[in-house]
Amino acid sequence: MIINGVAIDDTFAEAFGMRGTRVLITAQNLKWAHTAATAMTGFATSVIACGVEAGIERELSPEETPDGRPGVSVLMFAMGSAVLMKQLETRMGQCVLTCPTAAAFSGIEGGDRINLGKNLRFFGDGFQTSKQFGGKRYWRVPVMDGEFLTEEKTGMVRAVGGGNFLILAESQPQALAAGEAAIEAMRKVPNVIMPFPGGIVRSGSKVGSKYKTLNASTNDAFCPTLKGLTKTELSPEIESVMEIVIDGLSDADVRKATHAGISAVCDLGAANGVRRISAGNYGGKLGPFHFHLREIMA
């Protein structure tokens, strides 16, 4: 399969089951909603070391939020329920409770009900109050700028993490430009995040390492500087590879984002140095979700 001069490898991305949740963060203005959300999603690129993968899904207009203020939607994913619940509570307490004018609400109505602000109420030292509206409980916690308003619980659902594709280009600037175009298109797709910095990861990994203390190491087959030292997947003209990793609330969401991203890359085409699109997998043995590139782009 070739699209605008870009070869689509006959391969698939292998993804894993995760647990996911969404939090709606509002504030006096978008600046402070983004500030809280950015802090909350910091150091959350990979479950390999961060425990959770998180990112800003999109901005919210006042008409879309429970308190009629501007806001942002945050998605969080983890390999297990206990990890996700602990990370959510910790990040809420350290990054949203502390942020001027910020409030937090549930972004998922279905699934398992987990604590959002239930335990944060204790910061109020007995002065906190609660109200119920429409079957939902909210907590008002006194703080020095007024009060912190938070919904008591949110939803947690089964999700998909680790969807991915690789951009192979003739130079680093061309690979990065293609990645940026992909991310711009993918951020218009709901229910997904691309958790790495700017949505793009240069340090794609393989399972295992020659060092016993590491469970993942550099994907040497796609490293341009190792063409003569390893079993490479790169032809001579490929000098840079960028990977985009996708987490979504469903496998259909990941497929839509993959299609949007690859389409944007192929729109740039071979004329802009993009030569191939590939994907990372582990032989289909580790993850139940297989995203076949040619099938998605057919």
Q: Give the model confidence (pLDDT) of 62-106 as tens digits.
A: 999 999 999 999 999 999 999 999 999 999 999 999 999 999 999
Q: Are 39 and 69 members of one domain?
A: yes
Q: Are 135 and 38 members of one domain?
A: yes
Counting the structural domains of the chain, the total is 2
Residue burial 25-56, b: 16+ Cβ < 10 Å; e: rest: bbbeebebbbbbbbbbbeebbbbeeebbbbbb
Domain span at residue 152 reads 19-157
pLDDT at 282: 83
Q: Are 151 and 191 members of one domain?
A: no
Asked if the model's pLDDT at residue 215 lies above 90, the reply is no
Q: Are 25 and 137 members of one domain?
A: yes
Q: pTM for the full model?
A: 0.94
Asked if the model's pLDDT at residue 40 lies above 90, the reply is yes
Q: Are 213 and 124 members of one domain?
A: no
Q: Determine the Cα–Cα distance for residues 186 and 184; give it in Å rounded to an integer.
A: 6
Q: Are 229 and 244 members of one domain?
A: yes
pLDDT at 176: 98
Express each pLDDT in 118-152 by its tens digit.
999 999 999 999 999 988 999 999 999 999 999 99
CATH code, 67 = 3.30.70.520
| Domain final residue, candidates 157, 192, 210 | 157
Mean pLDDT score of the chain, rounded to an integer?
Answer: 96
Q: Are 181 and 276 members of one domain?
A: yes
